[in-house]
Amino acid sequence: MNFTYPKTEKLKSKITIGLLFTEGKSVSKYPLRLVYNAGTFGEGEKIKIGVSVSKKYFKKAVDRNYFKRVLRETYRLNKHLLIDNLDQPYSFMLFYQSKDRLPYEEINTKTIQLFEKFLAQTKPVIQSEEK
């Protein structure tokens, strides 16, 4: 498995981000929230993901940057859960939504649970479209 986070997987398009917030669906697992939307990207691209930490909870940029690094790292190590089970391209936005400063191990566990919850939520839709 390729445990990288290449530039092609980074969500940067303002149009795509706007669509996430207007048409996207969401799934939560405290303290994380995943907003997703099916989309089309370039050849061979299955996922685009961005991370965000609220200034409301972490006033200092140092703290926000730390949690963004942690979110990117947990995604990088667990993205195989998504890539192996998706049959269409998705764009994601991953949010840390708490003022609690959880340790890395707990955030990693919550990320895995969040990805599994997302897959369970989208599987019935994928199966009903095949019929």
CATH code of the domain covering residue 81: 3.30.230.10
Q: For the chain, what is the domain count?
A: 1
| Torsion angle, alpha carbons of 63, 66, 70, 75, to 10 | 100
Place of tokens 């303290």: 31
In a domain, 72, yes or no: yes
pTM over 0.95: no
In a domain, 24, yes or no: yes
In a domain, 127, yes or no: no
pLDDT at residue 123, as a whole number: 80
Q: Which domain holds residue 16?
A: 8-117
The predicted model gives 84-107 an average pLDDT of 94
Report the distance separating Cα 127 and Cα 114, nearest Å.
20
In a domain, 122, yes or no: no
In a domain, 91, yes or no: yes
In a domain, 21, yes or no: yes
In a domain, 92, yes or no: yes
Residue 62 predicted with pLDDT over 70: yes
The predicted model gives 78-95 an average pLDDT of 93
pLDDT at residue 24, as a whole number: 93
Residue 126 predicted with pLDDT over 60: no
In a domain, 51, yes or no: yes
Higher pLDDT, 72 or 41: 72
pLDDT at residue 40, as a whole number: 78
